[in-house]
Amino acid sequence: MSIFQRIDILVFRWINTDWSNPILDKVFSLFSDLPVLLVPAVILIVWLLVKGGKGGRVFVLKIILAVIVANEITELLLRPWIGRVRPCVALQGVHTPDGLLTSFSFPAGAAALIASVMFLLSIRYPRYKWLFMFLVIMVGLSRIYLGVHYPTDVLGGYAVGILAALIILLIFKFVEKMIKGHGRPTASH
């Protein structure tokens, strides 16, 4: 076992085992509960679609595409290729208040999805970037605390999420440049 794997397991045990208590079980379960996380997301999307004008609708499209890209990179490409077993399956004595998951763990999908959305939101609404960062951290910690991901799974998920958001931003910038460039008179020689 490499030094990095040892550190990963030590940090995992510290968060998963040393922090464990009934209050944090509920708090971190809440930050990993998809329906709970979807409610504010749906409210934001509806608000942007109704009140955000064309820019709001384009932003919603960016969020949806970034989530799709992050999910596809995580679930279809990296997880099957890397095949890392979750800590709740690989290690003894893991605290799992929400039960076991047996699918592969690297990178963390929830971390990738939340990072992609919060990265885009922090660019659009920089005033609230600390709130967005807090949510990213809490979702990531929840995955470790609940015993379903190692810290490096979460960090890998964050990287995938940010990469997915950047890919979408670059595609939109390229398309916008192509649209603006189309129809301009070209210089003749």
User: Looking at residue 170, which CATH number applies to its domain?
Assistant: 1.20.144.10
Domain of 137? 56-174
Question: pTM to 2 decimals?
Answer: 0.89
Q: What is the DSSP letter of 85?
A: P
In a domain, residue 163? The reply is yes
Question: What pLDDT score was predicted for residue 188?
Answer: 54
26-60 pLDDT, tens digit each: 999 999 887 777 788 888 888 888 888 899 999 99
* Domains in the chain, number: 1
Give the model's pLDDT for residue 186: 54
What pLDDT, on the 0 to 100 scale, is given for residue 48? 87
Would you tell me how many other CB atoms lie within 10 Å of the CB of residue 34? 9
**What is the SS3 assignment for 160?**
helix
Supply the pLDDT for residue 174.
Answer: 93
In this predicted structure, what is the pLDDT of residue 34? 74
19, part of any domain = no
Give pLDDT, residue 122. 95
Q: Is residue 38 part of a domain?
A: no
pLDDT digits (tens, 9 = 90+) for 56-73: 999 999 999 999 999 999
Segments in the chain below pLDDT 70: 182-189
In 3D space, the residue among 106, 40, 49, 97 whose CA is nearest the CA of residue 77 turns out to be 106
Contact 78, 107 (CB under 8 A): yes
* Domain annotation covers residue 125: yes
Residue 124 CA, distance from chain mean position = 17
Query: Could you tell me if residue 160 is inside a domain?
Result: yes
Quote the CA–CA distance of 65 and 102 in Å, as a whole number.
27
Tell me whether residue 120 is in a domain: yes
Closest CA to 162 of 101, 115, 130: 115
Do residues 85 and 147 touch, judged by C-beta distance below 8 A? no
